[in-house]
Structure 1
Amino acid sequence: MDLFTPDRPEWTVEAACLALGQSESTVYRYFRSLTSAGLIFSIRPGRYLLGPGIVHYDRQLRSSDPLLRAAEPTFAKLSHAYGVPSTVFICRIYRDHVMAMHEHRSGAPPLPEGVFARGRLAPLFCGPPALAMLAFMEVRAVRAMFQKSAGEDADWLEIKRRMRTIRAVGYAVSLDDPDPGVILLAAPLKQQDGGIAGGLCLALAHTAENTALIGQAGEDLVDEASKMAERSLIFSNT
């Protein structure tokens, strides 16, 4: 499935054999199984794209994930709280990246899609959505993730400093990083057992008026993240 990317959305069995280093019979068996599940389909003979089954599972995810089910009141409140175009979204760590799972865009003109657009893989140690989650995780585990990403020791010291600041104030914030012209804020979605279920994030245009909202927006995010995590427990038990 990882073969199918925005840069190369279409594959043949022969091309997949070369990319995977597998025999044609093995790759054909994979493609046949994925086609049966609807995860890929042949739009032209021998050429495959991602299939409608992904949309089916995406709908199931949205209706069954307790965190996403608990998000609606939070999204409704935050998207109208400041009277300016905004994007509210939920991020989770996915493999060695951060990915927005669910988003609500409001206002006109809407903010342009950025590094943390829904479904886009973002670097794990880049920006408030990632750091808001990492700051409240066990430091040794975060260090291991950082080393796996081949980060430099000097950079790790800066990451630790930023995580300490985030823990002190309860949320992460950046201006023009990683998206120019955008203010990004994020707060962790904490579980009862101390784990981190994800991050609640808010994007605003970087203007003087919106910069003045940062303190209030950060407090609102922390408050709404706590309420949303509590609501998700109810959905977990239903």
Structure 2
Amino acid sequence: MSSLSKMLSVLDLFGPATLKIDPETIAERMGLSRATVYRYVKDLCDAGLLVRVDAGSYGLGPRIIELDWMMRQYDPILVAGRELMHELSEATGLAVFASVFYDGHIINTYIAEPNDTYQFAFGRGQPLPFFRGAQSKVLIAFQKGRRLQRLFEEHLANDPDSTYDWASFSKAAKKIRKDGYCLTHDELNLGLTGIAAPIVNPGLDEVVGSLSAVGSTHNFKLLRQETVIEMVMDTTRRIAERMQNPPAAAHGM
């Protein structure tokens, strides 16, 4: 691993339970000398990727916010789908999520909400549990061939909290692929229902993300579930079509 790779690996130490970190902890967890760690931290601070948050501790820096903003402006799914997501949210009164499977993590990249009513356990940018919740299940179920079995072996086979063996996992994934969507109740937030469908890039014939509509189970009872499913699936098709012929990126969002 190059020195640059090692330096950037410092960023991997941050997570939901580690929002700030001190150089001594970095040295211990990465097996580096204190002199090397202080050099890495200085360079990362100079680049805006880290910032000092209190005496001796560092957090993620403002440059990451800039990069996040730029990603949202030019991310193909969001360029093609942001407007459609808001239309779906307004038409249903539900929150609409765009999610991707990246580097072993399933992450919500954008949320269109009709209001601030919902308090989601997993918001934008926060990794979702493996094969739990509609977004996660859709993105995993549509993985191809041996990759699906490898994902099961890596994430569920030795998980003592998992209720799946390979047979039941494979059967659940097959049903989602056959249906073309996934519906879940209470899997990420008690009292919430989610419906997700894959976004398939027709040029690549692969799943590049998922779209989900999420709301209270009570609100779903006021809507025709079949209608919401069709609206979600239609929106994913329209996003895929727009990705083939993307509209001009909207700025300032």
1:214, distance to aligned residue in structure 2 (A): 1.9
| Correspondence 1:125-140 to 2 at 5 A | 125-140=131-146
For residues 10 and 134 of structure 1, do their structure 2 counterparts lie closer, same or farther at Cα, with a shift above 3 Å needed? closer
**How big is the alpha-carbon RMSD for the aligned residues of Structure 1 and Structure 2?**
2.2
* Cα-to-partner distance string for 1:154-204 (whole Å, 9 max, x where unaligned): 522222222222122211001112321000110000012211110011101
1:25-64 equivalence runs, <5 A = 25-64=35-74
Letter in 1 for 2:117: P
Distance 1:139 1:210, change over 3 A: farther
Q: CA deviation at 1:2?
A: 2.3
* TM-score between both structures, scaled by the size of structure 1: 0.89
**Counterpart mapping for 1:160-199 below 5 A:** 160-192=170-202, 193-199=204-210
Amino acid at match of 1:228: I
Q: CA–CA distance in 2 between the matches of 1:177 and 1:14?
A: 38
Q: Gaps spanning 5+ residues in structure 1: where?
A: none
In structure 2, the residue matched to 1:114 is 121
Mapped partners of 1:87, 1:99: distance in 2: 16
Distance change in 2, residues 1:47/1:209 (3 Å): closer
Counterpart residue identity of residue 204, structure 1:
G
Deviation at 1:45, TM superposition (A): 4.8
The separation in 2 between residues aligned to 1:172 and 1:97, in whole angstroms, is 19
TM-score by length of 2: 0.84
How far did 1:205 drift? 0.4
Runs of 4+, deviation exceeding 4 Å:
none
Which 10-residue stretch deviates more, 37-46 or 57-66? 37-46
1:104 paired residue number: 112
Match of 1:220 in 2: 231
> Tell me, which stretches of 5 or more residues in structure 2 are unaligned?
1-10
Distance 2:81 2:205 in 1: 20
Q: How many residues align?
A: 234
Contact 2:79–2:248 (CA under 8 A) maintained in structure 1: no
Equivalences for residues 15-34 of structure 1 within 5 A:
15-34=25-44
Percent identical: 26
CA contact (8 A) 1:92 1:199 kept: yes
